[in-house]
């Protein structure tokens, strides 16, 4: 009798476990949002307690299994979106809506920030009538808040087929932290969000500080990605060895304390402590901050003389040239293009992941 009871229990146990697992899956729900570049929309939701998964993908279009290239050509009707799998017992749909609104410019009908075109428009895709009602109430409340001086154009649409994006797009901010941080900064998204939400921007802020040295995990973007990330001048200088106009560039007369990093990879290159007025109209330094991040090679492209070209180690960006007419103690003049650099003010070094250099500027 005891044997039968034990045997029966063993037979029933898998069924009970299967039922428990099914129940744990059943209570999860989906929310789908389009907020422009899905790289930037993933981190804020992943940081929420109760969110199980955030998938980058495409939805709202008329083709099956679209590729990234097809979507960016604006021929499929799809929007770059994220599908959020969440536990409503831990995080409410209203909370997700609140986070969503704080990632976007809901008054822009032509895209989001640096990304333009229909595939970068904003939208909320509802999976139930309850989600639709809450989304509409949330949109109405935001419109009446007076926070924006233009109409809210974000659409609220029924959810349809959602197609996950290619694997390299999933959790891009984790896989490529330096490239992601560079793209996000240059997109103008955070600057806009801080302007709109001020110090109440906690829900859009993310901590991308890494314990690794900037550039250590860098993988150079494709030419197409670089053209998207860089201004025409930045692309011409860093990728084609161009030269920006003297005295008409961003940092030639910058006197603020801080460091200069590669505009593409973020690797530290020069310090304001070694910057001096060369009179040339370009930012000039007596030495690199990190010599290991600098590469030099012979440059015979100028017919008047053979020069020494300076490039960054990880990104291979053309930075400028080094000459032997500088001041003591090195006698060198690293003549750089502002377009190849990004300046990190001393007060932002810790926040931007360059904390190891902060002590250089402590009084």
> Annotated active-site positions, please?
37, 335
8 Å CB contact between 129 and 231: no
122-126 and 155-158 as β-strands: parallel, antiparallel, unpaired? parallel
Please check whether residue 98 is in contact with residue 69, taking contact to mean a CB–CB distance below 8 angstroms.
no
DSSP strand pairing (122-126 vs 29-35): antiparallel
Give yes or no for a contact between 258 and 361, defined as CB atoms under 8 angstroms apart. Answer: yes
Beta-carbon neighbour count of residue 141 at 10 Å?
Answer: 12
Contact present, 280 and 246 (Cβ < 8 Å): yes
d(CA 69, CA 291): 39
Distance CA 86, CA 90 (A): 8
Taking a C-beta distance cutoff of 8 angstroms, is the pair 107, 148 a contact? yes
């Amino acid at each position: 009798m005891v044997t039968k009871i034990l045997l029966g229990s063993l037979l029933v146990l898998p069924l009970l476990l299967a039922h428990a697992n099914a129940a744990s899956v059943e209570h999860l729900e989906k929310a789908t949002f389009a907020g422009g570049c899905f790289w930037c929309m993933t981190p804020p939701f992943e940081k929420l307690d109760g969110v199980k998964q955030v998938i980058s993908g495409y939805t709202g279009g008329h083709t099956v299994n679209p590729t990234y290239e097809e979507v960016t050509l604006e021929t499929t009707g799809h929007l770059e979106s994220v599908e959020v799998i969440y536990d409503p017992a831990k995080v409410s749909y209203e909370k997700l809506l609140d986070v969503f609104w704080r990632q976007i410019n809901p008054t822009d009908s032509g895209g989001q920030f640096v990304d333009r075109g229909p595939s970068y428009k904003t939208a909320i895709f509802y999976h139930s009538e309850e989600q639709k009602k809450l989304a509409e109430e949330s949109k109405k409340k935001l419109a009446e808040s007076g926070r924006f001086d233009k109409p809210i154009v974000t659409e609220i649409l029924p959810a349809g087929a959602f197609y996950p994006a290619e694997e390299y797009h999933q959790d891009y901010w984790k896989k490529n932290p330096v490239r992601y941080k560079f793209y996000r900064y240059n997109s103008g998204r955070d600057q806009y969000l801080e302007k709109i939400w001020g110090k109440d921007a906690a829900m859009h802020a993310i901590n991308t500080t890494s314990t690794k040295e900037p550039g250590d995990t860098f993988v150079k973007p494709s030419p197409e990605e670089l053209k998207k990330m860089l201004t025409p001048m930045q692309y011409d200088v860093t990728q084609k060895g161009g030269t920006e106009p003297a005295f008409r560039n961003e940092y030639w007369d910058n006197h603020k304390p801080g460091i200069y990093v590669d505009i593409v990879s973020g690797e530290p290159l020069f310090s304001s402590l070694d910057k001096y007025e060369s009179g040339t109209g370009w930012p000039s330094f007596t030495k690199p901050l990190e010599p290991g991040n600098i590469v030099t090679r012979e440059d015979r492209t100028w017919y008047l003389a053979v020069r020494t070209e300076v490039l960054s180690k990880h990104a291979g960006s053309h930075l400028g040239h080094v000459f032997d007419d500088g001041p003591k103690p090195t006698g060198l003049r690293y003549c750089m293009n502002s377009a190849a650099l990004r300046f990190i003010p001393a007060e932002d070094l810790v926040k931007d992941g360059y904390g190891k250099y902060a002590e250089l500027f402590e009084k």
